Amino acid sequence: MAAAMVWLRRGAWGSARRCRCPAGAAGATAAATSSGSSAPWAVSTGRPGALPGGPAAPRPGAAQRRVFFALVLVNSGSRHEAKYLSGIAHFLEKLAFSSTARFASKDEILLTLEKHGGICDCQASRDTIMYAVSADAKGLDTVVNLLADVVLQPRLSDEEIEMTRMAIRFELEDLNMRPDPEPLLTEMIHAAAYRENTVGLNRFCPVENTDKIDREVLHSYLRNYYTPDRMVLAGVGIEHEQLVECAKKYLLGVEPVWGSGKTKDVDRSVAQYTGGIVKVEKDMSDVSLGPTPIPELTHIMIGLESCSFLEEDFIPFAVLNMMMGGGGSFSAGGPGKGMFTRLYLNVLNRHHWMYNATSYHHSYEDTGLLCIHASADPKQVREMVEIITREFILMAGAVGEVELERAKTQLKSMLMMNLESRPVIFEDVGRQVLATNTRKLPHELCTLIGDVKSADIKRVVTKMLRNKPAVAALGDLTDLPTYEHIQAALSSKDGRLPRMYRLFR
């Protein structure tokens, strides 16, 4: 399977600079130097893989595929909105693949893709925005041209922006009505952990900002963050030379619709972990979307700062997260569900009233967050919180050789299974190169996973437990322990909450 990556690497439409971008499995390295042309994106190149001021190329294999995948990954997202109205990345995600300089409407774009059996997608996260296409290899030229036009030449018409406002309002309304609270809790735990900075900024556009974001605001953001040095063009099912040719033809020398003014408002803030609590009292007694009732539950998420994916401790944390595992009280069965993970064995199997206990690990280029999400009846919230704090304390205890090897094997299996999917491969290539200027291959990651010892787990957990906790709580919070009590439990030897004594009952 061929994969290639082109790194648009130049100053903010400015002076030349030299950079290096290692290739994939073949081990080839592509060096990129700017031609010094005043036109943005203008470069010249030669083999092996030099794209001045721009694209370089990892390529995990060379087998041809009829279908190819290509994406442009931009180093932007909600964490960069501190100087802007919150919600711009959410708007850009919804506006993607709308009318451009070459295409009069979204329908025209979709019809062009359909001629080549293609599909498209855009996803915005806290630290990246991804524009992706997939189509028949015969339409490579046309589809990459379309992708470049979507990224650099969006019209952002008043009608499209108004439609986006309506779509976002509907999505926000739907978000609050869903039975699954996980998206809301994820926002809340980030807001608690990184209060009003970087990854703690809201990923969804607040309702009050929907009418304030217009073309001028979007262009201001795009001018600062959609620059060559913040972009990666990656592909799977494409030979490196073909992707370089397409990048030179359709990306380099193209003036973006927002102009090429000097960037001045780029937020380079480093994430500051604060800890804290975010509580939302909400009636969860009637969230069922059908005739079958869903039991009323209170949802709690407790997290602690871990590490960034650039640190060596990232792999031990990934193994720890797999070892904790967990899930819902009901599993559809089948192997690989993690039924021997700690949250299943110690929590769900022992406490029948627990509906959910799941471990999550969010990792970014400058920080990370390991958290456990638990759900139970509102009357048992205090007991549920104590069970979760106890599990955090037990992480620093003895780690059995069998459970450690099981977690490492499961992590390797999940890694290899995910990388069987071509969309995952090209996203993996793009994200790694955008963040680290290099790419670790699967066998390298498997070696690092295999090297993790129980002492590594104990070391990273001991360090993690020194931090203040982040807590998110949603539902009936009448019996929720105070933040100070949760913090005290995580500082104790057994994870127990301080006892409460009452004179009158």
Task: State yes or no: pLDDT of 143 exceeds 90.
Answer: yes
- For 420-432, letters b (16+ CB in 10 Å) and e give eebeebbbbbbbb
CB atoms within 10 A of CB 50: 20
pLDDT of amino acid 334: 57
pTM reported for the whole predicted model: 0.86
Among the listed ranges 42-46, 168-172, 252-256, 352-356, which one has the minimum average pLDDT value?
42-46
- Position 32 pLDDT exceeds 70: no
49: alpha, beta or left? (left if phi > 0; alpha if psi -120 to 50): left
pLDDT, position 309: 95
Q: Average pLDDT in the 276-296 region?
A: 86
Q: State the residue for tokens 């073949």.
A: 26
Using the Cα atoms of residue 99, residue 104, residue 105 and residue 108 in order, give the sign of their dihedral: negative
pLDDT of residue 328: 87
Supply angle C-alpha 315, 318, 324, rounded to 5: 145
Q: What is the pLDDT of residue 228?
A: 87
CA–CA separation, 375 vs 370, rounded Å? Answer: 17
Residue 21: pLDDT over 50: no
Q: Which residues touch 486 (CB under 8 Å, ≥6 apart)?
A: 277, 302, 385, 389, 469, 471, 497
Structure tokens of 82? 């501190």
- Of the candidates 232, 254, 267, 216, the one whose C-alpha atom is nearest the C-alpha of residue 13 is 254
Residue 14: the pLDDT is 34
Q: Is the pLDDT of residue 47 over 50?
A: no
Per-residue pLDDT at 59: 53
Summarised one tens digit per residue, pLDDT across range 378-411 is 999 999 999 999 999 999 999 999 999 999 999 9
What pLDDT score does 177 carry? 87
For the segment 175-209, what is each residue's pLDDT rounded down to a tens digit? Answer: 988 888 999 999 999 999 999 999 999 999 999 99
pLDDT class of 333 with cuts at 50, 70, 90: low
pLDDT surpassing 90 at residue 31: no
pLDDT tier, 457 (very low <50, low <70, confident <90, very high otherwise): very high
Chain length of the chain: 505
* 3-state SS assignment for residue 373: strand
The whole-angstrom separation of Cα 354 and Cα 356 is 6
The pair phi, psi for residue 371, each rounded to 5°, is -140, 160
The predicted structure's pLDDT at residue 13: 36
d(CA 377, CA 354): 8
Q: Which candidate, 493, 474, 475, 473, places its Cα nearest to that of 483?
A: 473
Q: What is the Cα–Cα distance from 193 to 457, expressed in whole angstroms? A: 22
* Nearest Cα residue to 38 out of 270, 234, 230, 262: 262
The conformation of residue 215, written as its DSSP 8-state character, comes to: H
Task: For residue 442, give every residue at least 6 positions away whose Cβ sits within 8 Å of its Cβ, in sequence order, or none.
Answer: 415, 416, 419
Per the model's pLDDT, the better-predicted residue between 44 and 398 turns out to be: 398
> What's the pLDDT at 353?
95
pLDDT attached to residue 156: 97
Residue 36 has pLDDT above 70, yes or no: no
pLDDT band for position 285 (50/70/90)?
A: confident
Tell me the range of 164-173, 177-186, 322-331 where mean pLDDT is highest. Answer: 164-173
Residues 103-124 pLDDT 10s: 999 999 999 999 999 999 999 9
Pairing of strands 231-236, 3-8: antiparallel
> What confidence tier does 48 reach under pLDDT thresholds 50, 70, 90?
very low
Mean pLDDT comparison of 2-11, 30-39, 480-489, highest-scoring range: 480-489
Q: Residue 436: its pLDDT value, please? A: 86
Write the DSSP string, 299-367: EEEEEEE---TTSTTHHHHHHHHHHH-EEES-----TTS-TTSHIIIIIITT-TTEEEEEEEEEE-SS-
Strand order in the sheet with 276-281: 276-281, 470-475, 298-305, 368-376, 354-363, 326-328
Mean pLDDT for 47-71 is 57
Question: Is 264:224 a contact under the CB 8 Å cutoff?
Answer: yes
The predicted model gives 251-280 an average pLDDT of: 89
Looking at per-residue confidence, does 374 or 263 come out higher?
374
In the chain, % helix, strand, coil (3-state, to 5) comes to 40, 20, 45
471 φ/ψ angles, rounded to the nearest 5 degrees? -130, 135
* Complete domains list, the chain, with CATH: 3-250 (3.30.830.10), 276-491 (3.30.830.10)
Q: 10 Å Cβ neighbour count for 83?
A: 13
Confidence bin at 10 (pLDDT 50/70/90): very low
Cβ–Cβ < 8 Å for 253, 90: no
The predicted pLDDT at position 502 comes to 60
* Range with the largest mean pLDDT of 24-38, 49-63, 143-157, 419-433: 143-157
pLDDT at 330: 72
Q: Strand order in 3-8's β-sheet?
A: 3-8, 231-236, 67-74, 129-136, 119-124
412: region left, alpha or beta (phi > 0 left; psi from -120 to 50 alpha)? alpha
Q: What is the pLDDT of residue 336?
A: 62
